[in-house]
Structure 1
Amino acid sequence: MAWNMNNYPESMKNLEGPIKQKAIDVANRLVEEGYEEGRSIAIAITQAQKWVGEQTSQYHLVPHTNGWAIKRANAEKASYVFDTKAKALQKAQSLSSNQETSLVIHKQDGTIERQQNFAH
């Protein structure tokens, strides 16, 4: 029987929404591949927590009052500020590549232009 957001293992009850959904998806996939349920659940929870951590470690290139800023996801303050988007983009790509994470590039109006993934 496949798990879902209404019917999931007891050990997932304290996981928050996106983490729980990811854990359920991974656990279902592992069970389909032949893993034992208990082992699937443990692996799925670990993988889901890792996935959420990766999502929050990504960089964003965003407009700033002084030009363009590089920020971590969910960070209040910019890590770097540049006067041009080109300079900021070069630094953001370098940071993302070195840390093997993704980069979300925004337009001047704040909407997302594109995303680059540097994970190996």
Structure 2
Amino acid sequence: MSKKNQHVVPHSDGWAVKGAGNSKATAVYGTQKETIARAEVIAKNQRADTKIHGADGRIRAGNSYGNDPCPPRDKK
């Protein structure tokens, strides 16, 4: 399974999950909340990132489920 970032993007039928570089949507839902939940499941399985786009198409949030380039430091 390839590691592809999952994007939550506006769609004519609501919101869609699209793998990076894909022309077709993986899944389409009526609400952004449902779409984000599905994108997170896919990203966790692939150890990839999620990129959440706003209604204007610009990235507004994201999360990493893979190798974090800046992991938190142990405070002990």
Fold match by TM threshold 0.5: yes
Identity of aligned residues (%): 32
- Which structure 1 segments of 5+ residues have no match? 1-52
- Counterpart residue number, 2:73: none
Where relative contact order (Cα < 8 A, 6+ residues apart) is larger, the structure is 2
> What code does the residue aligned with 1:84 have?
T
RMSD: 1.4
* Secondary structure of 2:21's aligned partner: coil
Of Structure 1 and Structure 2, the greater strand share is in 2
Of Structure 1 and Structure 2, the greater helix share is in 1
Off by >6 Å, runs of 4+ in structure 1? none
Show CA shifts across 1:54-104 (max 9, x none): 5xx111000000000000111111010000001111111111111110011
- Alignment pair present for 1:109 and 2:56: yes
- Give the structure-1-normalised TM-score: 0.52
Show CA shifts across 1:21-48 (max 9, x none): xxxxxxxxxxxxxxxxxxxxxxxxxxxx
- Counterpart residue number, 2:20: 73
- Counterpart residue number, 2:37: 90
The number of residues matched between the two structures is: 66
- Counterpart residue number, 1:23: none
Q: Which has the larger radius of gyration?
A: 1
